[in-house]
C-alpha cells in the first residue's frame, strides 16, 4: 500500500503573538518536503522532495497561500486549537 499525505500544524507561542504554520509532506511514512512559515518556502529532505520543493517554490500562488495560512487559518482558529 502506497500512501501520500500531508499534515498541517499551527504552533502558538505566547497566545497569538507568535504563530507558526508548518506543513509536512510524507510518502510511505517518509517526510520528503516541508513548509515552515518562519522560513517562508518549501524545503526538500530527499532527492524527490528537493525536486518537489523547487517546483512548489516556483508557484507564487502556492507560496502566497501557504504564507497566509498563519492569519487565515491559525490565528482565526486560535480559540478552537488552544488548550
Q: Are 19 and 11 in contact (CB under 8 A)?
A: yes
Using one digit for the tens of pLDDT, what is the confidence trace for 13-42?
888 889 999 999 999 999 999 999 999 999
Please report how many Cα atoms fall inside a 13 Å half-sphere around the Cα of residue 19, on the Cβ side. Answer: 20
Structural domains for the chain: 4-78 (3.10.320.10)
Question: Which ranges in 1-83 belong to alpha helices (H)?
Answer: 47-58, 60-69, 78-81
DSSP state of 11: E
pLDDT at 81: 65
Q: Look up the pTM and report it.
A: 0.86
More confident residue, 82 or 72: 72
Q: Determine the Cα–Cα distance for residues 34 and 25; give it in Å rounded to an integer.
A: 6
Using one digit for the tens of pLDDT, what is the confidence trace for 35-72?
999 999 999 999 999 999 999 999 999 999 999 999 99
Amino acid at each position: 500500500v502506497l500512501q501520500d499525505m500531508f499534515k498541517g500544524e499551527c504552533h502558538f507561542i505566547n497566545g497569538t503573538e507568535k504563530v507558526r504554520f508548518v506543513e509536512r509532506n510524507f510518502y510511505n511514512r517518509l517526510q520528503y518536503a516541508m513548509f515552515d512559515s518562519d522560513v517562508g518556502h518549501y524545503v526538500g529532505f530527499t532527492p524527490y522532495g528537493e525536486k518537489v520543493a523547487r517546483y512548489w517554490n516556483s508557484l507564487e500562488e502556492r507560496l502566497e497561500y501557504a504564507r497566509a495560512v498563519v492569519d487565515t487559518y491559525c490565528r482565526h482558529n486560535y480559540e478552537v486549537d488552544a488548550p
